[in-house]
Structure 1
Amino acid sequence: MAIAYVNGRHLGYSDTGGDGHPVILGHGYFTDHSVFAAQAEALHPRWRVIAWDARGHGATADDGEPCTYWDQARDVLGLMDHLGLPRATVGGISQGGFIALRTALLAPERVSALILSDTEATPCDPADKAGYGQMFAALAEHGPIDDLLIPLSRQIIGDDPHADEWRERWKHVVLPLGAAAGCLLERDDVSDRLAEITCPVLLMWGSEDRSLPRDRMDLLAERLPAATPVRVISGAAHTPALTHPAEVNRVLLEFLSTSASSAAA
């Protein structure tokens, strides 16, 4: 685990190092960079895998300052500057995908390809916004109790042994209920700008994802000019990289070998 001082804050990240083409990965809400441990192992040393902690998650504190996913996209670019990386493949799960899309819109010349898993370009759906707001309020009032953490783990991780591990972790960390929550709930709509993103894009979605319906991924497939068809990870919930690493790694290796590396050349 390393720390970079980026945009006035300390940003936690892991880095396999090496001379391979860099692949920068952002996690989903309530998790951290460690969900990509299997990808770092599978892709290195041909690719340099950098996984980072978004604001309010892992080793990156929520400083209480309101922020947007555009600000967090600038965190990605700042991390690239810190590491001396002119270009990289950028990707993520859920909110990591929100940030990756905005990184490509802010600095297309620095993003050679995108990897988008279980994510969307549209704002927070009103029903989702209400549900998440109630959950955040309950966690703030009652703390990380099992009655709240069990359904949360099932939603994010599904019926998988990693759910038990994450429930225990949530009991011992500061949960992202401050500015990070506002960032999630109040995100803007970038769906009308997707045609601007012309780099190769890999799309993946867990077949059992109950957080993000398939049609939101289909919208990305329709509007991103160089996107793959949505690759469905059978049996996975909202975090396929963690729960179904073999299938995710196979799809990643295929994409990086045929698309991202040539785009980076």
Structure 2
Amino acid sequence: MLVSERIGQFFLESDSGRDRLEYTEYGAGDAWVVLLHGQLMPRRMQQPLARALAAEGLHVVTLDLLGHGRSDRPADPLVYSMTAWAEQVVALLDHLGAPEAVVGGTSLGANVSLEVAVLAPERIRGLVVEMPVLNNAIEAGIIAFAPLMFAARFLPFTVNGLRVLTRPIPRGLVPFWVGIGLDTCNQRADSVAAVVHGLFFGRVAPSSKERRRIQAPALVVGHPADPIHPAADAAMLAEEMPNATFVRARSILEWRIAPERLNRATAEFALTCWKTPRRSRRAGRA
């Protein structure tokens, strides 16, 4: 089934200036779903899932958070935090005129989705949380991203040089996920250093106490054999949140190379969130 796709943008005013954020809409209607990308990745990584959900009648929006993809990429680490990114999602909903949405994402996007649920619970119809980065991932995250931050800060030619090498490669001539990898390499050293610095020195996710208060229905997806996103974190999160369901992926690559099962589970979950009146869900928890 073909669905309409439209690119849009909106602007945020802050003490540091005016920032432009870009998004893509898939489909139409009032059953909103917002999908967020992983760290340093573009929103296009969520395109296959967005198209699959839109084909089921959902109105899906993928957003490039500040510092990512085709949105602005300031070099100031003070503008990057989980809370700031969550505020950008709320600003997107305001811009679209969407009172509520199912909000979800992968890795960084998963944690931002949790922050939105804490910041503005009245805007959350449901959560789709893939590969959250919580207690069991701290050490692996430091090992993975600290060298990147230092390289971007003190050896900027490494990051900028990779951009020069990969940017000219036509994305239409390579497989989809190779293109996403190339897009992820399209970074500027100053903004990469700022993004990672903001993550390291801000809070990574809502506290366990806050997560236990999230009442929205949630679909939590964990991957085996992934040290940066251990399945133990996803399982722990599903236990903490009172209305969460845990789904174990068959492998770290299942949703990328054989997505049918997880796409179907996500579509069914999101449709159920929209078919179930919000008042009835709250009454059912009492």
Alpha-carbon distance, 1:177 to partner: 1.3
Matching residue within 62, 65, 68 for 2:81: 68
Cα-to-partner distance string for 1:115-139 (whole Å, 9 max, x where unaligned): 1000134496145224311133235
**Separation in structure 2 between the aligned mates of residue 194 and residue 55 of structure 1, nearest angstrom:** 24
Matching residue within 26, 29, 37 for 1:19: 29
Matching residue within 200, 204, 207 for 1:185: 200
Runs of at least 5 residues in structure 1 that lack an aligned partner in the other structure: 150-160
Aligned to 1:125, what secondary structure does the other structure show? helix
Aligned to 1:23, what secondary structure does the other structure show? strand
- Matched to 1:56, the amino acid is G
1:207 maps onto 2:207 in alignment: no
* Aligned counterpart, 2:247: 231
Cα-to-partner distance string for 1:7-42 (whole Å, 9 max, x where unaligned): 441111101241140000110012111111112221
Taking a change above 3 Å as real, the CA distance of residues 83 and 55 of structure 1, as seen in their structure-2 partners, is same
Alpha-carbon distance, 1:47 to partner: 0.5
**Separation in structure 2 between the aligned mates of residue 86 and residue 6 of structure 1, nearest angstrom:** 19
Q: Is the 8 A contact 1:62 1:179 kept in 2?
A: no
* Aligned counterpart, 1:153: none
Aligned to 2:127, what secondary structure does the other structure show? strand
Matching residue within 8, 11, 15 for 1:5: 11
Q: Is the 8 A contact 2:222 2:230 kept in 1?
A: no
Structure having the higher Rg = 2
1:36 maps onto 2:51 in alignment: no
- Matched to 2:123, the amino acid is R
1:117 maps onto 2:160 in alignment: no
Alpha-carbon distance, 1:145 to partner: 6.9
* Aligned counterpart, 2:236: 219
Taking a change above 3 Å as real, the CA distance of residues 211 and 108 of structure 1, as seen in their structure-2 partners, is same
Q: Is the 8 A contact 2:65 2:71 kept in 1?
A: yes
Alpha-carbon distance, 1:212 to partner: 0.9
**Separation in structure 2 between the aligned mates of residue 130 and residue 210 of structure 1, nearest angstrom:** 11
Taking a change above 3 Å as real, the CA distance of residues 263 and 114 of structure 1, as seen in their structure-2 partners, is farther
- Matched to 2:195, the amino acid is A
Alpha-carbon distance, 1:247 to partner: 2.5
Q: Is the 8 A contact 2:160 2:187 kept in 1?
A: no
Matching residue within 60, 65, 90 for 1:49: 60
Alpha-carbon distance, 1:172 to partner: 4.0
**Which TM-score applies when normalising by structure 2?**
0.78
- Matched to 2:75, the amino acid is G
**Which TM-score applies when normalising by structure 1?**
0.83
Runs of at least 5 residues in structure 2 that lack an aligned partner in the other structure: 1-6, 166-174, 280-286
Q: Is the 8 A contact 1:120 1:216 kept in 2?
A: yes
Matching residue within 135, 148, 169 for 2:183: 169
- Matched to 1:232, the amino acid is R
Q: Is the 8 A contact 1:233 1:247 kept in 2?
A: no
RMSD across aligned C-alpha pairs, in angstroms? 2.6
- Matched to 2:212, the amino acid is A
Identity %: 24
Alpha-carbon distance, 1:143 to partner: 2.7
Q: Is the 8 A contact 1:113 1:263 kept in 2?
A: no
Q: Is the 8 A contact 1:116 1:201 kept in 2?
A: yes
Cα-to-partner distance string for 1:163-192 (whole Å, 9 max, x where unaligned): 533343345443651321123223325222
Alpha-carbon distance, 1:109 to partner: 0.8
Q: Is the 8 A contact 2:58 2:271 kept in 1?
A: no
Cα-to-partner distance string for 1:86-119 (whole Å, 9 max, x where unaligned): 1111111111011111111111111111110001
